[in-house]
């Protein structure tokens, strides 16, 4: 499909112009989207169910965090189209975030230590 203004092929990889080049896209259909919606809705309902039916504690917190990561996986994978991107792009985005999870976890211990300073 030629660009009306510049009259060049915006999908041409041999004449790569970063200001206009875009890859050709095709639809993956809507069934996958709706499936993920029902999964996300179901996981949120599971969250609420655990909230009311289980006593607070480390195990419940752990379940909530795992469910949160699963939800994030579906949002990034399907809604943000990550599973159809190149592996190198996906790794560039996902790997740093995995390290952040550890950072949050470690800082909880640091916070608990600050608590011991209080009177």
Partner 1 sequence: MSTQTITKSKMWGGGNSPFKVSYGKLMMWIFLLSDAFTFSSLLVGYGAIRYSFPSTPQEQIEGLGLKFGEDVQAKFADGAAAHGEHAEHAEHFIPALREAGVFTELQWPSPDLVFNHFPFAHGLHLPLIFVSLMTLILILSSVTMVLGVEAGQRMDQKGVAKWLFWTIVGGFAFLSCQAWEWTNFITAGATPWANPYGPPTFAALFFLVTGFHGFHVFSGVVLNVITYLNVRKGTYEERGHYEMVEKVGLYWHFVDLVWVFVFTFFYLI
User: Closest separation between CB of residue 17 and partner 1, Å?
Assistant: 10
Q: CB-based burial of residue 59 (10 Å sphere; 0-12 exposed, 13-18 middle, 19+ buried)?
A: exposed
Q: Does 102 bind partner 1 (CB under 8 A)?
A: no
How far is 78 from 33, CA to CA, in rounded Å? 7
In which element (H, E) is residue 99 found? Answer: helix 87-115
HSE of 37, CA atoms in CB hemisphere, 13 A: 5
Phi-psi region of 29 (alpha: psi -120 to 50; beta: other; left: phi over 0): left
Residues 14-53 that bind partner 1 (CB under 8 A): 14, 16, 18-19, 21-23, 25-30, 33-34, 37, 40-41, 44, 47-48, 51-52
Q: Does 2 bind partner 1 (CB under 8 A)?
A: yes
Residues in contact with partner 1 by CB under 8 A are 1-5, 10, 13-14, 16, 18-19, 21-23, 25-30, 33-34, 37, 40-41, 44, 47-48, 51-52, 55-56, 61, 64-65, 67-68, 71-72, 75-76, 78-81, 85-86, 88-89, 92-93, 96-97, 100, 103-104, 107-115, 118
């Amino acid at each position: 499909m030629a660009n009306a203004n510049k009259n060049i092929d915006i999908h041409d990889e041999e004449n790569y112009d970063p200001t206009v080049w875009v890859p050709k896209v095709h639809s993956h259909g809507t069934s996958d989207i709706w499936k993920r919606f029902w999964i996300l809705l179901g996981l949120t309902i599971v969250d609420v169910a655990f909230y009311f039916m289980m006593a607070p504690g480390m195990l419940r917190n752990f379940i909530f965090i795992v469910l949160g990561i699963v939800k994030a996986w579906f949002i990034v994978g399907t809604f943000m189209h990550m599973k159809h991107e190149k592996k190198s792009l996906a790794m560039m985005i996902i790997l740093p975030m995995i390290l952040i999870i550890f950072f949050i976890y470690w800082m909880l211990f640091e916070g608990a230590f600050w608590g011991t300073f209080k009177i």
